[in-house]
Amino acid sequence: MIQAINNISSNQPVKRRQAINRRYDRRRVYDNIINLNKSMPFYKIHLTKENREFSIGIKDAAFALKEKIKEMIDPDFRGFQCRTVDVSNEEILSAYPLEEDLSGLPENIEIRIKQLSSVQINKSRELLSTSRALAPGVYEFMAKAGSKVYNLIFYQESRRDNLTVLKEMADLLNSSIPGINVVVENGHSRDYYRLSITADMLAEGGGRLVFEDVDSLRFGVVDFLDMNRMEKAPALSEFEINGLSRQTAGNCFKLDNKLYIILKATREEPVYIRIVPDGSRIKEAVEDFLSSYNSMINIVNQHMEANSRNYSAYKLLSELKTIGQIYSDELLACGIAVCEDGSLQMDENLAELAARTGRMEGLFAKSNGFIARLKHKAEAVAVNPMEYIDKTLITYIDAKKSNSRYPYVTSMYSGLFYNALC
């Protein structure tokens, strides 16, 4: 028997070492081995190459599954702690988290949009494109927006046609004043053109944009173009957050430096922003869990395909499928279905919805549900994978004797146990 165990260790590829960090875990596993030795009949194990690979394979898969479950049922598991936002009407506003920690924000935020902010639009005088009306000279003028003042100079070296003057003025303003967009557009009459000045100076921390010639006694370029002809006045956005009135210069703002909110349209009905679990992150964690579970199912199915008469492997598959079938309603509520081959398949849309509503977290937190039963089964398989390989009964256990009758059986299980520790 000892030589058989040496063959198990030496003929298998090196497996990823799993660390058991707590002393009581090691003691509990050892006690389970001793109890198995005392309570089980004595078997002759058929240690073929396939059985050796299968026993080590399901032991490692069960251990990995158990550790994944332990990670996810931990109250401090970060996957279930991450939060994001859910907006009731994305056509009215959008919201994005600026950081992972959204603590301190209300779980439900009600926003009622009364007015969107608007930009200032000026339309200059319409000028005949071929006319040469502006006299040569150096024209100094200012652009004012609240406390901000921009000093500008327009050079007219010779009489040029009005279309050229308009284009050069547009280039000067665009390159000199932030938050402004100036284009030359067609006027109402043929061959007439004008400046269209769009200024978002409120968002830039300024105010209404005003142009002014420096020399008030001289006919300047501002008067010539009539650049202060306002077609649309700027306005602040107005809205309520949980009943409190707010205003912002633009349609985008930060809430407590944790949420970035974009206002898109006005509406009488409020829009709700809810702080919810981050469905995409939770879904990724659940996918890792399903990968661990399906890995063990695949090992069993592959072993059964190669050894069709291995009824012990079928027993493990049947036990896992039974657990899934018992809790199928619980799994389906989270978008997880039990397949015919025993594997678990996830519907991504339903799973993300379950994650956002808290059902997925409840699946892993439940003390008497699918995850709890599966964790118990994974622990049992990790401790005693020999339960699921071919063996021949030699003698039944003698219930009258409490001592360990077969010390080398303990050696067999402890060999498997320490393979994961060393």
Mean pLDDT value of segment 290-319: 87
In this prediction, residue 420 carries a pLDDT of 45
> What is the dihedral angle through the alpha carbons of 31, 33, 38, 43, rounded to the nearest 10 degrees?
180
**pTM for this model (two decimals):** 0.59
Chain centre to alpha carbon of residue 139: 56
pLDDT in tens, 327-366: 999 999 999 999 999 999 999 889 988 888 888 988 888 8
In this prediction, residue 201 carries a pLDDT of 67
> What's the whole-number average pLDDT of the chain?
82
Beta bridge partners of 128: 192
Residue 33 scores a pLDDT above 60: yes
Give the largest CA-CA distance in the chain. 122
In this prediction, residue 276 carries a pLDDT of 87
Pairwise CA distance, residues 212 & 140, whole Å: 9
DSSP labels for 221-289? HHHHHTTT-EEE--B-EEEEETTEEEEESSSEEEETTTEEEEE----SS-EEEEEEE-HHHHHHHHHHH
pLDDT in tens, 339-348: 999 999 999 8
Mean pLDDT value of segment 166-171: 96
Residue 405 scores a pLDDT above 90: no
Mean pLDDT value of segment 1-26: 43
Pairwise CA distance, residues 288 & 33, whole Å: 29
Between CA 233 and CA 245, with CA 239 as vertex, the angle to 5 degrees is 110
Q: Give the type of residue at 18.
A: Q
**Which run of H or E residues covers position 139?**
strand 137-145
Confidence of residue 3 (pLDDT cuts 50, 70, 90): very low
Confidence of residue 1 (pLDDT cuts 50, 70, 90): very low
Confidence of residue 178 (pLDDT cuts 50, 70, 90): confident
Residue 415 scores a pLDDT above 90: no
**Which run of H or E residues covers position 38?**
helix 23-39
Distance (Å) of CA 335 to CA 69, 88, 295: 18, 22, 19
Confidence of residue 374 (pLDDT cuts 50, 70, 90): very high
213: left (phi over 0), alpha (psi -120 to 50) or beta: beta
pLDDT in tens, 71-99: 888 877 777 878 888 999 999 999 999 98
Question: Which structural domains are found in the chain, ordered by start?
Answer: 7-80+279-419 (no CATH), 83-117+236-277 (no CATH), 120-232 (2.60.40)
Mean pLDDT value of segment 184-209: 84
Pairwise CA distance, residues 92 & 110, whole Å: 12
Most confident of 279-288, 302-311, 401-410: 279-288
Report the range of poorest mean pLDDT among 229-238, 374-383, 408-417: 408-417
